[in-house]
Amino acid sequence: MRSIAFYGEAGAYTEQAAMQVFGTRAKYLPRTYISEVFSAVEGGVDCGVVPIENSIEGAVTQTYDQFVGARLYVTGEIILRINHCLIALPGVKIGSVRKVYSHPQALGQCRKYLEKLKVEAVPFYDTAGSVRMLKEEGLRDSAAIASAKAAEIYGMNIIARNIAQNKHNYTRFFIVSRKPAMKRGNKTSIIFTIKNYPGALYHALNAFAESKIDLTYIQSRPVQGQPWKYNFYADFRGDRGDEGVQKALMLLRKSTKYIRVLGSYRKAKQ
């Protein structure tokens, strides 16, 4: 039986994403922090599943930061449609809700709904975890934003469904492992740091244009301990073994002082 570490509690969207790939026969291991998922995989768990990007709120920066110093590879991606529900203890009516708990990303995705309700949005480490907390604390003036599955698992009541302001709400997840994917992929993720000279970023990005590689995503994150210096994370079409990709990486190395291929994998179907 494969062991899969995931971010959040039972019923979290990350667990649902993992189940799309690994099914019900795997052993699922919830973790409170994204860093704990990485540590679990480094410590022997078969693989981990972590959120990387939401179609409304953008990058999950904690995940990107974990790749610095970690020796894990991206071996797959999963795209899950998110349907947020407002969840409370049985018998609680929407008019009595004063506070709503959830992960900051979920609160952001439902901002307009919460503003209309005129309730206090309270950040919590996980969507499903906020439902569990409500039940354990017996809070009857509060609700949580999470999945319908989380409400089912913890025996809670769904007050409202599909409450995100954008109904096309998707989250992308990475599968991380200690070894790279065995099969060829059609998408690759890398991390790099550019050299300090005028036009370095232009030359870095031009490496993809010259090689006719479709750069699909780029994200910058501050380098810890070095103010105003940044790591760049990029996704692009192709496998690291493709001739065009190899050319792009060769050109990219001319304008970077650090580059690491996080992995080539199969692009997720939406």
* Domain assignments of the chain as residue spans, ordered by start: 3-81+169-177, 85-161, 187-265
**Average pLDDT value for residue range 48-74:** 94
pLDDT, tens digit, 9 for 90 and up, residues 94-150: 999 999 999 999 999 999 999 999 999 999 999 999 999 999 999 999 999 999 999
Residues comprising the chain, all counted: 270
Task: Assign a CATH topology to domain 85-161.
Answer: D-Maltodextrin-Binding Protein; domain 2 (3.40.190)
The yes-or-no answer to whether 3-81+169-177 and 85-161 have a common fold is yes
Q: Tell me what pLDDT residue 224 has.
A: 85
Instruction: Report the largest interatomic distance among the alpha carbons of the chain, rounded to a whole angstrom.
Output: 63
Phi-psi region of 178 (alpha: psi -120 to 50; beta: other; left: phi over 0): alpha
Does the pLDDT at position 226 exceed 90?
no
Q: Which amino acid, one-letter code, is at 9?
A: E
Q: Tell me what pLDDT residue 107 has.
A: 96
Which structure tokens are listed for 70? 């970690």
Distance between CA atoms of residues 116 and 182, nearest Å: 49
Could you give the residue numbers annotated as active site?
A: 171, 173
Q: Tell me what pLDDT residue 69 has.
A: 84
Give kind and range of the element (H or E) at residue 86. strand 85-88
Task: Assign a CATH topology to domain 187-265.
Answer: Alpha-Beta Plaits (3.30.70)
pLDDT, tens digit, 9 for 90 and up, residues 239-270: 999 999 999 999 999 999 999 999 999 999 87
pLDDT band (50, 70, 90) for residue 37? very high
Q: Tell me what pLDDT residue 63 has.
A: 95
What is the residue-wise DSSP string for 173-235?
Answer: EEEEESS--SS--SEEEEEEEE-SSTTHHHHHHHHHHHTT--EEEEEEEEPTTSTT-EEEEEE
Q: Tell me what pLDDT residue 269 has.
A: 82
**Average pLDDT value for residue range 50-77:** 94
**Average pLDDT value for residue range 161-188:** 95
SS3 content of the chain, % helix, strand, coil (to 5): 30, 35, 35
pLDDT band (50, 70, 90) for residue 167? confident
Superfamily of 3-81+169-177 according to CATH: Periplasmic binding protein-like II (3.40.190.10)
Distance between CA atoms of residues 47 and 41, nearest Å: 5
pLDDT band (50, 70, 90) for residue 229? confident
